[in-house]
Copies of this chain bind each other. A is one copy, B any other.
């Protein structure tokens, strides 16, 4: 199974990387950009073939390593 995990900073948490991108887009002449949030995406190739078990395993990985759940939220998608 393959899984894709999106990790984004929670709303309200300052995102300096996103702010930097917004400024850079402005400098390049792109107007009309109200906000930018930047996160990460992790694609995992798993041996587990049972979708439910694989998803549970990936959620566990997110809690333990992939996301800092104090400031980040994550979303798991099986592909």
By a beta-carbon cutoff of 8 Å, the part of chain A in contact with chain B is 6, 8, 18, 21, 24-25, 28, 30-48, 57, 60-61, 64-66
- Given the known interface contacts A21-B66, A42-B21, the answer about A32 and B47 at a Cβ–Cβ threshold of 8 Å is yes
**A38 touching B32, Cβ below 8 Å:** no
Q: Which of A18, A32, A34 has the largest number of chain B CB atoms within 10 A?
A: A32
**Seed contacts A33-B44, A36-B43, A38-B40; 8 additional CB < 8 Å A-B pairs:** A21-B65, A21-B66, A32-B46, A32-B48, A33-B45, A33-B47, A36-B44, A39-B43
Residues of B within 8 A of A44 (CB): 33, 35-36
Residues of B within 8 A of A33 (CB): 44-47
